[in-house]
Amino acid sequence: MSAFPAWTACVHSPSEPRSRSEAARGAWALDAGAPEQLWRLLVDSGYFHLAGRSAEEFASRKGSFLELSRRTPHLPEILKQTGWHSERGLEATLSIMKPYRATWLVHQLARRQGGARFESVPGQMLKDIYVHSVTHAQRDPAFRWLASYVESTVPFVQRTHMGFGRRVVREGQGLLLPLKMRDVACDAASRLAPTGWELRPPSSRERAAFGEHLARARPGCYVEALDLGPEALGFEEAARPWRDAGLERERHLLLARRGGTPRAMAVMEIGPRGANPFQLLDTARLFAWDDGGRGAFPALLDAARRWYAARGREGFVFLAETAGDDAAAGLPDDTSGAQPYLWLIPAHRAGDFLQHLHEQTGSRLLPHNEKEPS
């Protein structure tokens, strides 16, 4: 069933009137004065400790996060931040953004400990912020895919995103792609980068060939949702609303050849500072075209380091979507214990996902020490 359950009645938009009792608690869009509260919530909730990180590591990103968060209420076509408020202040948050032409990405879920006592029904807080965020995406006539990078080791994620994702995948409609999200520093060049690789942007013919290769190697929903098909690879349509708002959004393709033969491709993307503290828009993917293509990964990753450094970044996120990609690129072993997935469902199943979340959160409250992932 796709109809929203009755609890959506307590979710408000900024323009909706609220009674005095309603104003004390509930979910609505965060306004331009909320960024400092939002950053404090991310610190207090333990959000910055995901994947073995610490809050201190994110201190340098606070300024750009606050600056963009102040603008977010005026950019509903690409960004949305939702908060759940109680008498003591901001209790939980969830954000959603539109990084691709037809895809909205759910991210930045966090909540303070001890907030359950302010809920009128079990799980109300999480239900409300998800409904508010997903409903925002559903107002977009171009909306075709709902995505998220989820941490599968979190019990809440297992019951909600992963549980529903497995059902949709069985029906042949979505994707659960295990991957590694590796932070790469721009000033740490690979010691494995071999010589003999010719690196340069692909020609139009090579771009078409890459699209054909990807169509064979990856599911159609992956190619469409991430704008990796031939008609979207140039990224102009996806980037336009960000650039119109004066925000950075760009994609760069780099092809590795040996002996004149294309062997591997790097797809690098960049987004505005502050869009997500974990840099979910500053990402690089590497694709091998044949069995020997992985040999180019260290050289391509070094080229990515230079590309991001030239744009003022200290690092970026390498999305290793095939087992062994990070080792082939010369990165050290991942000891974080994280098990992230790219979660992807079609837009017409978003209502069913909300119903599934309603059922799962209503049956069991989260322990106070349970952290939520990006």
DSSP H helices in 218-296: 220-225, 236-244
Q: How far is CA 231 from CA 137, 208, 210, 217, 237, in A?
A: 23, 9, 12, 18, 10
The residue assigned the tokens 């992932």 is 373
Q: What are the pLDDT digits (tens) for 87-130?
A: 888 999 999 999 999 999 999 999 998 888 888 888 899 999 99
What percent of the chain has a predicted confidence (pLDDT) above 70? 90
pLDDT at 323 over 60: yes
Residue 46 sits in a domain whose CATH number is 3.40.630.30
In a shared domain, residues 223 and 174: no
Establish if 315 belongs to a structural domain. Answer: yes
Residue 81 DSSP label: E
In a shared domain, residues 110 and 142: yes
In a shared domain, residues 126 and 203: no
Residue 205 contacts by C-beta under 8 Å, 6 or more apart in sequence?
none
What percent of the chain has a predicted confidence (pLDDT) above 90? 73
In a shared domain, residues 137 and 41: yes
Q: What are the pLDDT digits (tens) for 338-359?
A: 999 999 999 999 999 999 999 9
Distance CA 6, CA 310 (A): 51
Establish if 1 belongs to a structural domain. Answer: no
Residue 133 contacts by C-beta under 8 Å, 6 or more apart in sequence?
80, 82, 94, 95, 96, 106
Domain containing 320 equals 181-328
In a shared domain, residues 35 and 157: yes
Q: What are the pLDDT digits (tens) for 13-38?
A: 443 434 334 445 676 778 777 899 99
In a shared domain, residues 234 and 280: yes
Distance CA 79, CA 256 (A): 35
The stretch 323-332 carries a mean pLDDT of 94
pLDDT at 146 over 50: yes
Model pLDDT, residue 31 = 78
- Residue of higher predicted confidence among 23 and 215: 215
The stretch 282-297 carries a mean pLDDT of 95
DSSP H helices in the chain: 20-24, 35-45, 62-71, 124-138, 155-157, 163-170, 204-217, 220-225, 236-244, 297-310, 325-328, 350-363
Model pLDDT, residue 17 = 39
Distance CA 219, CA 224 (A): 9
Model pLDDT, residue 291 = 85
DSSP string, 281-323: TSEEEEEESSTTGGGGHHHHHHHHHHHHHHTT-SEEEEEE-ST
Q: Buried (b) or exposed (e) across 81-99, using 16+ Cβ within 10 A? A: bbbbbbeeebbbbbbbbbb
Confidence of residue 193 (pLDDT cuts 50, 70, 90): low
Distance CA 342, CA 154 (A): 15
DSSP string, 28-47: EE--TT-HHHHHHHHHHHTG
Model pLDDT, residue 27 = 67
In a shared domain, residues 186 and 140: no
Confidence of residue 55 (pLDDT cuts 50, 70, 90): confident
Say which amino acid occupies 340.
P
Q: How many domains does the chain have?
A: 2
In a shared domain, residues 35 and 111: yes
In a shared domain, residues 358 and 255: no
Q: How far is CA 348 from CA 2, 176, 359, 361, in A?
A: 8, 17, 19, 22
Residue 301 sits in a domain whose CATH number is 3.40.630
In a shared domain, residues 13 and 42: yes
pLDDT at 374 over 70: no
Establish if 334 belongs to a structural domain. Answer: no
Establish if 369 belongs to a structural domain. Answer: no
- Residue of higher predicted confidence among 331 and 21: 331
Model pLDDT, residue 361 = 85
Establish if 111 belongs to a structural domain. Answer: yes
